[in-house]
Structure 1
Amino acid sequence: MGENEHKAWLQEEVDDWSREGIVDDHQVKLILSRYGLAETPSGIEKVSPKKDTSQLVTVVSILGAFLIGIGAILFVASNWQRIPNIAKMVLLLGTTYGTYFVGWELKFNRRTHPVMGEALLFLASLFVGATIFLTAQIFNVNANAHWLLLVWFLAILPFGYAFRSSSILSLNIITFALWTMFYISQSRYLIHSSFEIFMLYLLFGINLYGLGQLHLKFEKYAHFRLVHQGFGLFFILISYFYFSLETPYRESLTRFIPISWQVQLFFLLFTVTSVLFLVSNFSMYRKVKNTKYELIVLLLAFSGWVGAWLLTFFIDSFTTSVTEYGYTYTRIDPQIATILFILFNLTFFVLSIGSILIGYYKSTVPFVNIGMLFFVLGVLHLYFTTLYELLPRSLAFIAGGLILITLGWYLENKRRSIINEIKEGVGI
C-alpha cells in the first residue's frame, strides 16, 4: 500500500470515527493535520522534538519574570515613603504599560522572542495588581479590601485571550478564586466561612470544567481548554478533600450561621451555570461518547454539592447539646459523623481516580498528575486519622513508612507508565 493509499485509508477511518462519535470535529482536524491532510487548527502547535525544550524555556522565563516582579515590588516598597505621590503614579503606570508594550513587541509585532514576550506580558499582569494595591495605599484606601482583588481580576480579564496567554488566564482564575475567599471570609468568622468557601469552590470547579468544554467549539481558543479544565479539576478535588476531613460537619456545620443575600445570590448564579454546563456536557456526550468519564465526574461532583447543601437544612436533627467544664456546645451524632466521613472520602477517591482516567483517555498528562496528587493526599489523611490511632505509635510510624514507600513507588511507576502511553499515543 503506497503513501497515497495510506492517507486515503486514514481519511476514511477518521470520517467513520467522526460519524460514530468516537472523536469530535476538533480532534478530527488535529489527526488529519498531523499527516498533512488538513491545516493545523489555529492556536495548536505542531508536535516536534523541540516541544519539551520550548515548554521548559517558557516555564523558566515565566518564573524569572515572576521573581523580577516580586523584587521590583519589594524594592519600590522599601523606598515608598521617600517618593512623591505623582512620581509614584508615573512609576507604577509607566512600568506596567512599558512592560506590556515590550512584551507585545517581542511576541506579536517583531516575533523575535515570543517566549520572552509571553513572560513579560505575564509580568505586566502582575504589575497591574501591584499598581492597584499601591495606588489604593497612596490615596489611603484600605488595601486589605477584597474588592481590590476584584478590580485586579477585571483589569486583566480580557488579556488572557487577547494575548493568547495561558499564564495570564491562569493568573485570572487565581485572582478570582482569591477574591471569593476574601469576600466571604472578611464578613464572617473563618470557622463559618471555610465551609461556604469550599462549597463555592466546588461550583467554581464545575463551571471551569464546563467552560473548558465549550472552548472545543472555537478553534482559535481551543488550547485554553486545558487551563480551565485543569483548574476545574483542582478546585473540585480540593473541595472534596476538605469535605473528607471531619472539620466541616463536626464544627462548621454544627455552628452554621445563615449567609448574607449577596453570597446567596453568588451561590444561585454558580448553581444555575453549573446546571447549564452539565446539560451541555450531556448533550456533548450524546454526540461524542468519549466524554463519558467527564460527565460522570461532573455529575458526581454536583450531586455531592447538592447533598452537602441539603445537609445544612437538616443538621440540627443530627446534633445534641453537650456540656463540659461549664461550657455548652452542639456536637453531631458520632454515627452520623462516621457515615459522612465514609461518604465524603469515598466520593473524593472516586473523583481522584476519575481525574486519572480522564487524563489517560484524553491523553492529558496534567489531569493524571492532579488526580495522583490528591489520591496520595487522601491516603495520607486516612492513615493519620484511622490507622495511626488504631496502632501503637511506634508500629504506626513503621507501618505508615512501609505503606507510603510502597504506595509512592507504585504510584510513580503507574504515573510514568500512563504518561508514556499518552505520549506514544499522540506520537510525541
Structure 2
Amino acid sequence: MWLQQEVEDWNREGIIDDHQAKLILSRYGLTEAPSSNKNLSNKKDASQLVTVLSILGAFLIGIGGILFVASNWQKIPTIVKMVLLLGTTYGTYFIGWELKFNRRTHPAMGEALLFLASLFVGATIFLTAQIFNVNANEHWLLLVWFLAILPFGYAFRSSIIISLNIVTFALWTTFYISQARYLALSSFEIFMLYLLLGINLYGLGQLHLKFEKYAHFRIIHQGFGLFFILISYFYFSLETPYRDILTRLTPVNWQVQLFFLLFAVTSVIFLISNISMYRKVKNTKYELIVLALAFSGWIGAWLLTFFINSLTTSVTEYGHTYTRIDPTIATLLFILFNLIFFILSVGSILIGYYKATVPFVNIGMFFFVLGVLHLYFTTLYELLPRSLAFIAGGLILITLGWYLENKRRSIINEIRGGPVA
C-alpha cells in the first residue's frame, strides 16, 4: 500500500522514528498498535541499563585480562602467546555471536562480548607487534586495528563497536600527523583536524539514510560528528590559541597538507550532498546551516595561519621578548568564535528536536552550558569583586541549570510523544 511505503520512507529519512511509524500504520490497520509510551519507555530504559552494565563489565574484564597477560608476558613462549591472543579473541567473538544471534538468549551480554572481542583485536595487534619487535608507537598499528574491526560494527549490528571504530580512527589521524611532522602536534592542528573529521562523520551519517538496513547507524556517526565539531569550536572559543599557540606554528610538510586537503575535499562533497538532500527533505535545513557554518569557520581558521605574521606584535616580559598576536585581533577572534560556537550548540539542539533524536539535544545542551561556564569564569568573574562574582555566578548557574534541564526534558518528552513534564 502506498501509505505504508510512504511511512517507511519517512522513517528511513529520519522524519519520524520507529514508534511514530507504528502509530501511523496502526491507525489505518496496517500493523498492531505499539505498547504505551510508558511501558515502552520502561522496557527500553531497562534494556539500555543492562546493555550499559554489560559493556562496562566486559570493558573491565578486558582491561584486567590484558594487564594480567602483560604482567606475565616475558615468561610465556611465543607460540603460546599467539595461540592465547588469537584463541581468546576468536572465542570471545564466537560466544558473543551465539548469545546475540544464534541462541538469542542474552543479546545484551552477547553485544558486550562482541565489543570485548573488538578490544581484544587491538590488544592482539599491539602485543603481536611487541613479540616481533615492532615499535608499538607506530601509527599504522592503530590503522590496522581500525580496518580489522571496520566490518564488525555493521555485521554484528553494534553501535558500540562502530563507536570504537570511530575512536580508533580519530586516534590514528592524530598519531599519523604527529609522526609525519616529526614533532609534537600542536593542539591547534589537532582541533583543526577534528573539526573536519566531525563534518565528515556527520556527512557519512547522512549517507546511511540511502541504505535502509543501516539507516539507524546514522545517529552514532552524526552524534560523534556533532561532538567533534562542538569540542573543536569550544577550543577555538578560547583566547589561548590566538595569543600563544598560533604564533608558534611551524610549516607543515606535504604529507600533512595532503591529509588536510583530503578531509577538506570530502567535507565539501558531504556539504553538496546535504544541499541536494535539503531540496527533498525540508527539515534538513538546520543540518545544512550547522555544517556550512562549521566548514566556513574552518576555512577562516586555516586562512588565519597564513596571515598570522602580519597580525603579531613583540612583547617584552621579564627581560624576554615574545611574539604575540595583537590583543585587539585576539579579542575579535574570541568574540567571533564564541558566536559561532553558541550558534552551533543551539543548532545541534534544533537538529535533535526536528530529527526526534535525543542524543543531539543532550550534546547541544552540554556544550551550551560548557560555553556559558567558560564565559563566566573568563569575563564576568574578572569584572566583579571576587565575592560578588561567586554569588552572581552561583545564582546564574542555578537558574540556568534549572531552565535548561526543564527545557531539555520538555524537548525530549515532545520528541518521544509523551506529556510535557
1:426/1:98 CA distance change after superposition, 3 Å:
farther
Q: CA deviation at 1:397?
A: 1.8
Q: Alpha-carbon deviation of 1:300?
A: 0.5
Counterpart AA for 2:281: V
RMSD value, Cα? 2.6
Q: Which amino acid aligns with 2:321?
A: T
The aligned residue for residue 129 of structure 2 is 136
Cα distance in 2 for partners of 1:220, 1:94 equals 31
**Would you say the 8 A contact 1:321–1:331 is kept in 2?**
yes
State which of 304, 316, 330 in structure 1 corresponds to 2:309: 316
- Counterparts of 1:145 and 1:62 in 2: how far apart (Å)? 28
CA contact 1:11–1:32 (8 Å) conserved in 2 = no
| TM-score, normalization by structure 2 | 0.91
Q: Which amino acid aligns with 1:144?
A: N
Asked whether the equivalents of residues 32 and 38 of structure 1 are also in contact (C-alpha less than 8 Å), the reply is no
Q: Counterpart of 1:245 in 2: which secondary structure? A: coil
Aligned mates of 2:16, 2:411 — CA distance in 1: 23
Structure 1's unaligned 5+ residue stretches are 1-7, 41-46
Q: Distance in 2 between matches of 1:231 and 1:24?
A: 20
Q: Equivalents in 2 of 1:221, 1:29: separation in Å?
A: 14
Change (3 A) 1:48 1:408: closer
Q: Give structure 2 stretches of 5+ with no counterpart.
A: 33-39
The TM-score, its normalising length taken from structure 1, stands at 0.89
**TM-fit CA distance, 1:23:** 7.9
Look up the match of 2:51: 58
Q: Deviations over 1:334-384 (max 9, x none)?
A: 110010000000000000011011111111110011011111111111111
Match of 2:307, SS state, is helix
Give secondary structure in 1 for the equivalent of 2:402.
helix
Displacement of 1:324: 3.0
Distance 1:188 1:327 in 2: 28
Cα distance per residue 1:97-135 (max 9 Å; x no partner): 110111112222222222211111100000011111111
DSSP 3-state at the match of 1:369:
helix
Greater mean alpha carbon deviation, residues 52-61 or residues 355-364: 52-61
| 1: CA distance, partners of 2:85 / 2:10 | 52
Match of 2:177 in 1: 184
Q: Which amino acid aligns with 2:341?
A: F
Deviation (angstroms), 1:96: 0.4
**Residue identity opposite 1:226 in structure 2:** I
Deviates most, 204-213 or 55-64 = 55-64
Alignment-derived partner of residue 235 in structure 1: 228
SS at match of 1:287: coil
In structure 2, the partner of 1:121 is: 114
Q: Secondary structure at the match of 2:266?
A: helix
Counterpart CA distance in 2 for 1:64 and 1:109 is 22
Alignment of 1:155 with 2:148, yes or no, is: yes
Query: Which residue among 83, 98, 101 is the counterpart of 2:91?
Result: 98
| Aligned residue among 272, 277, 282 for 2:270 | 277
CA–CA separation in structure 2 for the residues paired with 1:99 and 1:421: 41
What are the equivalent positions in structure 2 for 1:252-263 lying under 5 Å apart? 252-263=245-256
Q: Which moved more, 1:401-410 or 1:121-130?
A: 401-410
The 2-side partners of 1:133 and 1:229 are apart by 30
Q: Deviations over 1:210-234 (max 9, x none)?
A: 1111111110000101000000000
Verify: 1:69 aligned to 2:53, yes or no.
Answer: no
Matched, 1:109 2:118: no
1:223 & 1:24 partners in 2: Cα distance? 8
User: Relative to structure 1, is the Cα distance of residues 135 and 29 closer, same or farther in structure 2, using a 3 angstrom cutoff?
Assistant: closer
Instruction: Give secondary structure in 2 for the equivalent of 1:50.
Output: helix
Task: Tell me how far apart the structure 1 counterparts of residues 415 and 400 of structure 2 sit (CA, whole Å).
Answer: 22
